[in-house]
């Protein structure tokens, strides 16, 4: 009798949320990646397999240094970005990297998404931008960690896409969705006139409110 493979639930989450990225128009083809953490191990998207074909059994498991512990497929080339974020943020249990079109537009401009809509509070007081480094590089991982800090749950990767984090992979997906929504609203508002940016006190209240709401919903 064989023992059960590790991180079964987390592997299921990575497989399911990868398909959700396509269904929710948050990426194209196999762009982006997903991970879910359990202690000092993570389940992360496999490299080179289309999301719609990824089964839980295809999802590799690595340690927090990115070394493969279980699985037949290589982990995503952007695993270093995931592992660095987990090492820096003990409160993060899931990460979603998307290439959603409106948010990626601001990433290509190198501009943060400001608080012109209250739902930005899912990510923080704004969505900051990490500078450009090649995809999959340690340098990009460092920039993403710096941009997120301890106060943001999402950042843009310049000329690239979005990194969203959460207490689990579903929370990270929700944040990625909210980032795309507020990016679209800000883009549209800017095309019409000058968006009104919310003040700091209101944003503080909203960030705390959404944090409490998420804890109560668990």
Contact in structure between 103 and 161 (CB atoms under 8 Å):
yes
Q: What is the pLDDT of residue 167?
A: 96
Which pLDDT belongs to residue 5? 80
Q: At what angle do helices 169-192 and 101-109 cross, to 10 degrees?
A: 70
pLDDT of residue 3: 52
3-state secondary structure 4-31: CCCCHHHHHHHHHHHHHHHHCCCCCCCC
pLDDT at residue 1, as a whole number: 35
Predicted pLDDT at 210: 87
Place of tokens 């609203």: 185
160 in a structural domain: yes
Distance from C-alpha of 170 to C-alpha of 24, rounded to nearest angstrom: 13
Q: Name the residue range of residue 160's domain.
A: 8-217
Establish if 3 belongs to a structural domain.
Answer: no
What's the confidence (pLDDT) of residue 216? 65
In a domain, 1, yes or no: no
Sheet with 68-70, strands from edge to edge, namely 68-70, 61-63, 41-44, 33-38, 94-98, 161-166, 154-157, 129-130
- Please report whether residue 2 resides in a domain: no
Check: CB of residue 107 under 8 Å from CB of residue 158.
yes
> Is 23 tagged catalytic?
no
* Both tokens assigned to 46: 């496999």
Q: Looking at residue 99, which CATH number applies to its domain?
A: 3.40.225.10
> What pLDDT sits at residue 218?
62
Of these residues, 10, 78, 177, 180, which one is catalytic? 78
Dist CA 214 CA 206 (whole Å)? 12
Q: Write out the two tokens for 155.
A: 């950042």
Closest among 100, 104, 84 to 92, alpha carbons compared: 84
Number of domains in the chain: 1
User: Does 88 map to a domain?
Assistant: yes
In a domain, 176, yes or no: yes
What average pLDDT values come out for the chain (218 residues) when binned by 10 residues?
A: 76 98 94 97 96 97 97 96 97 98 98 98 97 97 98 98 98 98 98 97 93 68
Number of other residues whose CB lies within 10 A of the CB of residue 14: 30
């Amino acid at each position: 009798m064989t023992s059960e493979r590790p991180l079964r639930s987390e592997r299921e989450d990575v497989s399911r949320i990868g398909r959700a990225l396509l269904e929710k128009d948050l990426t194209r083809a196999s762009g982006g990646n997903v991970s879910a953490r359990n202690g000092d191990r993570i389940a992360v998207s496999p490299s080179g397999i289309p999301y719609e074909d990824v089964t839980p059994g295809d999802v590799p498991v690595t340690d927090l240094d990115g070394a493969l512990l279980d699985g037949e497929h290589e982990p995503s080339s952007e695993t270093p970005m995931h592992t660095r974020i987990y090492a820096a943020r003990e409160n993060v249990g899931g990460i979603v990297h998307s290439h959603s079109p409106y948010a990626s537009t601001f990433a290509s401009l190198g501009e943060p998404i400001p608080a012109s809509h209250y739902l930005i509070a899912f990510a923080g007081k704004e969505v900051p931008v990490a500078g450009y480094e090649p995809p999959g590089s340690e340098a990009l991982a460092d920039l993403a960690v710096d941009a997120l800090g301890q106060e943001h749950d999402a950042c843009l990767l310049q000329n690239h896409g979005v990194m969203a984090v959460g207490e689990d992979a579903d929370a990270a997906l929700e944040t990625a969705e909210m980032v795309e929504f507020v990016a679209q609203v800000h883009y549209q508002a800017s095309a019409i006139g000058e968006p009104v940016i919310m003040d700091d006190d209101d944003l503080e209240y909203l960030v705390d409110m959404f944090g409490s709401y998420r804890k109560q919903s668990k």
